[in-house]
Chains A and B, each alone.
Chain A
Amino acid sequence: MNRSLLFVTVLVIATCGLVYELVVGTLASYLLGDSVTQFSTIIGVYLFAMGVGSYLSRYLERGLARRFVDIELAVALLGGTCAPVLFFSFAWPAVFRLAVYGMVLGVGTLVGLEIPLLLRILKDQLKFKDLVSQVLTFDYLGALAASLLFPLLLVPRLGLVRTSLLFGLLNAAVGLWSTWLLEPALGGVKLLRVRAGLVCLLLAGGVVSADRLNGWAEAQQYVDEVVHATSSPYQRIVLTRGARGFSLFLNGGLQFASVDEYRYHEALVHPAMVRAANIKKVLILGGGDGLAAREVLRYPEVESVTLVDLDPEMTSLAKSYADLAVLNGHSLENPKLHVHNEDAMRFLADGDEEFDALIIDFPDPHNFSVGKLYTTRFYELVARHLAPGAVAVVQSTSPLFARQSFWCVDATLRAAGFWTEPYHALVPSFGEWGYVLAARAPPARVRDLPKGLRFLSDETLPTLGQFPLDMDRVPAEVNRLNNQVLVRYYEDEWRRWN
């Protein structure tokens, strides 16, 4: 048998094997959030499964060449469809994790069988030393090819769904092709070829219609239909629409749902606004969707609103996407509002402007970068921007799902020298949600609530500060740049609920 052809085979199957692993790993961290452990557990399980495959190879005794073709076809099917299947199963969280690990175990085991089988099939045709050295060389080369192609070419150009289908197709092609390559060892090949041909056709069909599949698959992540999706350098932004309005997702995490966002944003903005001595100058950190700004702009006394959001893609979407602009009351076009697409920490460190009210609405502290925005250092920077009598408010994740995280934010604000008043509100799409009001000294109520609110009233406002037993204060360490305890609390606590 022609050697160089053989090595091309090894190269292709090695590349395919690593691509499947990368697809599943990327998908898992993409859909499950950028948890620190996601990728490395996938790698671990995959390597383990390959070991299982290699071990099992000893039980395959006869008809090795036939087995090899079958295994190629099986890998092609399983690996090739891994991305669409996983995207699809994301709609059912309970199934998804199982599907991820099932997929990794299945593909890993099959891939682990490939090389040992091939070595045994070829053991009589080459000297053992050459055989091992050359097969492994090409195996590793294939791995290199995959690891380079994947981030540089495949994900950006093809996307995950098409990548996985395309490599499945390649794998199936190797299966079909080996019916010729190994023909002497195979015996009857007709039926095998038909089978291989069918698998190829199926996957080729998938590649061709990947776009439709892709949209459909992403849609499966969401209960509702995806109506808009873009990727910025910072995040994936997806808007969905359903019977009860629309929702915004950043990196797969729900940002708001139009049905109940008013609860979230009224509770975020007004408790601070009615207690700030003045409200001429307001600062909003985060909140690029313009919804907090809408609440702020309900007060005629407000003269200027400075909105600092890292992602220009987000603020321009909030301005130009019609439904969103209607929902935020065209706040981003209001002449009082000034957008700074800038890092909030840098904005505070570099500037010296003072504000009367500060609305701090960052994503939850789910990684070390965002975690910096919840540290004593960050709050020291905030303090430098407080005008006399100013009040700040911090969205502080859920006191129910992430109780210690919530109280950690409160403890951190206090350690930074703030008087605080924690409170919470029920936002059905999110659950019980928490906020912490912060100021230099306890502020008195000085202002009426604006007209037209749907959630807050003079009667309910004072009740927000009451915490039921299961959300009440627990001891928590202070979150500092040099310990980032909050990120660790948060990861632990949400893992328990998910």
Chain B
Amino acid sequence: MELGRRDLVAAFLGTAVAQAACRRGSRTPRPIPGELVDRQVEVGHLLRGAPPPIAPGPPRTVDVLVVGAGIAGLCAAWRLASAGIEDLVVCELDSEAGGTARSGRNAVSAFPWGAHYLPAPRSDRGPVARLLRELGAITGVDAEGRPSFAEQLLVREPEERLFYRGAWYEGLYLRAGASAADLAELARFEAKMDSFAAWVDGKGRKAFDVPSGKGSDDAEVTSLDRLSMAEWMDAEGYRSSRLRWLVDYACRDDFGARAEHVSAWAGVWYFAARHDGKTKSAGYLTWPEGNGRLVRQLATAVGPRRLLTSALVHTVEPGEDGCRVHALDARTRAPTSFFARQVVFAGPRFVAGRVLSPWRKAPPGFLAEFQYSPWVVANLTLSAPPPSRGFPLAWDNVLYESQSLGYVVATHQLERADDSGPTVLTWYYALAGGDVRAERARLLSAGYSEWEQLVAADLAPAHPGLDALATRLEVWRWGHAMVRPRPGFIWGGARRAAEESLGARVHFAHSDLGGMALFEEACFFGVRAAERCLAGLGRAGESWQ
């Protein structure tokens, strides 16, 4: 056992994993063949370097240009296309649409590169439910407007399991060995979240709703934003290590940051927004490729003609009667220019500061307030399901003593009964420390071989001999994966200032505007920006929201 591996594992995954994985003696597991598949460095260079050349000749004129084909950009384009806007272009710098909801595919299965599920909406109104109807995922609606969903799209049982000291247990809360006091605290916490979920303000708004902007702005609720989730737990007297673990895990999983660095408002939102405290929520919708399925649905609705991939927008210049938009082909560097009557900027804030020409010289103060957690997603292909002790392989498989977020099984939702064949595990890791710059440096300091060792060491205690089954590993490092809802951010001035359009022609859409990286937030802002464009074009109709 060379010291290097142990230190590496301890630094990223914690000492418990290092002990468990590296005590297993001098035999370093067989390295898994594979590679890094992210290309963030090149693209970053293109934006930061000297302004690229601009296409000679007249620009192509369009009604609306959408920058970015993440969920927000695609939802904006879908809204516009549904309103009959023909003259529409979406520029996406990546070779495929999707952004952080992108997916991949190999001979065994499709798999996610980022977002992998969508919580089933509570109501059949709004754009998310509309999209699901178009996809055929909603099969009916009951008298109270609650939709029902196609069974095969809801996460099937067994849903979650947790590994602790040698065996797997059902669920994400570590019940095995929990004391009566632990369980009482869990019950108290759940009751508290139910009461938050049921809380409604004078205007009939839920305390926490989806998208978050629909929720109450009553000070009783928004004051939570001043504390971190960890401070709030302290103040409420939650001390059980198992409950604290669950909450910290939830913060890392949903926001990519530890409970100390997440606003208590956002932390509670996670537990209280998706139900009303009385009826159970319908669960999660998921596909082998994760939200990549929703990307495909949106991209089809927008139409491949209107989607320009490998197109990096480097300059947006708002003018009197329209915007000049300059892009270049990310592979060939060939320039293109557009003249757009309306622009939806659906990239994140840190890109906006470099692309919008007025902001290059005088960046608005709010830009610096947006911070993003880095993440790593690794897809591991196995020739057979990993053998394990205790509760059987589930959809979501989490390791109690690791800093990783465990893995999701891509083949879990396949329409077949036999689960004994090859599979793909999607492993997630958030760099959840307080200083996002330092975390980003840490992310990039590790290359393929380090991440390979980390994935292998992380899974080794739970699945001895896994390396014999592993056929390929692909690793994606996301430098700016998720906006971070730090304390004070959600209800602070910066986030709200960033929601405003730039003049009458540039409208913003991205999940970072909501302060939480979620499908519903991206969709909300995408549709809203599209509806602002429609108003600007004199084609306003009924809102979808």
A interface residues with partner B (beta carbon < 8 Å): 25, 36, 39-40, 43, 137, 140-141, 144, 147-148, 151-152, 233-234, 310, 343-346, 349, 367-373, 375-378, 380-381, 480-484, 487
Contact = CB atoms under 8 A, between A and B. Distances in A.
A484 B283 CA distance: 14
Contacts of A152: 465, 468
B27 A144 contact: yes
B417 interface: yes
A497 to B, nearest CB: 23
B96 interface: no
4 A-B pairs with least C-beta separation: A484-B157, A481-B156, A40-B390, A144-B24
B167 interface: yes
Given A343-B416, A484-B157, 19 more contacts: A36-B390, A39-B389, A40-B169, A137-B23, A141-B24, A144-B27, A148-B465, A343-B418, A349-B416, A369-B417, A370-B417, A372-B156, A375-B151, A376-B151, A378-B417, A381-B415, A482-B151, A482-B155, A484-B158
A348 to B, nearest CB: 9
B418 A310 contact: yes
A484 B158 CA distance: 8
B418 A148 contact: no
B445 interface: no
Contact of A369 (B151, B283, B419): B419
A148 B392 CA distance: 20
Given A375-B151, A482-B283, A368 B465 contact: no
A368 B154 CA distance: 15
A345 B415 contact: yes
A376 B152 CA distance: 10
A346 B419 contact: no
B385 to A, nearest CB: 10
B417 A140 contact: no
A386 B464 CA distance: 46
Contacts of A344: 417
B179 interface: no
B157 A373 contact: no
B166 interface: yes
B416 to A, nearest CB: 4
B206 to A, nearest CB: 25
A487 B419 CA distance: 15
Given A40-B390, A368-B157, A376-B151, A147 B465 contact: yes
B387 interface: yes
B391 interface: yes
B152 A144 contact: no
Given A43-B166, A151-B387, A482 B156 contact: yes
A148 B417 contact: no
A140 B154 contact: no
A484 B392 CA distance: 13
Contacts of B167: 39-40, 43
A346 B158 contact: no
A480 B159 CA distance: 13
A369 B418 contact: yes
A486 to B, nearest CB: 10
Nearest to B464: A147
B106 interface: no
A483 B157 contact: yes
B420 interface: yes
Contacts of A233: 420
Interface in B269-327: 283
Residue among B23, B167, B390, B416 having the largest count of chain A Cβ atoms under 10 Å: B416
B545 to A, nearest CB: 29
A43 B176 CA distance: 14
Contacts of A137: 23, 25
> What's the dominant secondary structure at chain B's contact region?
loop
A487 B391 CA distance: 13
Contacts of B418: 234, 310, 343, 369
A265 B432 CA distance: 60
A345 B152 CA distance: 12
A140 B23 contact: yes
Interface in B138-190: 151-152, 154-159, 166-169
B25 A345 contact: no
Contacts of B416: 343, 345-346, 349
Given A148-B464, A369-B418, A484 B156 contact: yes
Nearest to A479: B157
A481 B387 contact: no
Contacts of A377: 151-152
A482 B157 contact: yes
A232 B334 CA distance: 57
A491 B154 CA distance: 24
Contact of A140 (B25, B391, B464): B25
Nearest to B152: A377
A141 B25 CA distance: 6
Q: Counting chain A CB atoms within 10 Å of each CB, which of B24, B156, B169, B418 scores highest?
A: B418
Contacts of A483: 157
B417 A481 contact: no
A233 B385 CA distance: 13
Nearest to B29: A148
Contacts of A376: 151
Interface in B168-221: 168-169
Nearest to A377: B151
Nearest to B460: A144
Contact of A151 (B27, B154, B465): B465
Nearest to A42: B389
A378 B152 CA distance: 9
A349 B151 CA distance: 14
Contact of B389 (A40, A381, A484): A40
User: Most chain-A Cβ atoms within 10 A of its Cβ — which of B387, B390, B468?
Assistant: B390
Contacts of A147: 464-465
A375 B152 CA distance: 10
Interface string B337-379: 0000000000000000000000000000000000000000000
B152 A481 contact: yes
Nearest to A25: B389
B387 to A, nearest CB: 6
A482 B154 contact: yes
A284 to B, nearest CB: 16
Contacts of A375: 151
Given A40-B390, A140-B24, A144-B24, A373 B417 contact: yes
A372 B417 contact: yes
A346 B418 CA distance: 9
Nearest to A480: B151
Nearest to B157: A484
Nearest to B25: A141
B415 A346 contact: yes
Contacts of B169: 40
Contacts of B387: 151
A403 to B, nearest CB: 22
A344 B418 CA distance: 9
A414 B155 CA distance: 22
A343 B417 contact: yes
Contacts of B392: 36, 367-368
A349 B420 CA distance: 18
Contacts of B152: 377, 481
B24 to A, nearest CB: 4
B148 to A, nearest CB: 11
A328 B148 CA distance: 45
A310 B421 CA distance: 12
A223 B243 CA distance: 51
Most interface-central of B156, B166, B283, B391 (chain A CB within 10 A) = B156
B415 A349 contact: yes
Contacts of B157: 368, 371, 481-484, 487
18 contacts: A40-B167, A40-B389, A40-B390, A43-B389, A140-B23, A141-B25, A144-B24, A144-B464, A148-B464, A345-B417, A368-B158, A368-B392, A369-B420, A370-B417, A376-B151, A377-B152, A381-B415, A480-B151
A51 to B, nearest CB: 14
Contacts of A372: 156, 417
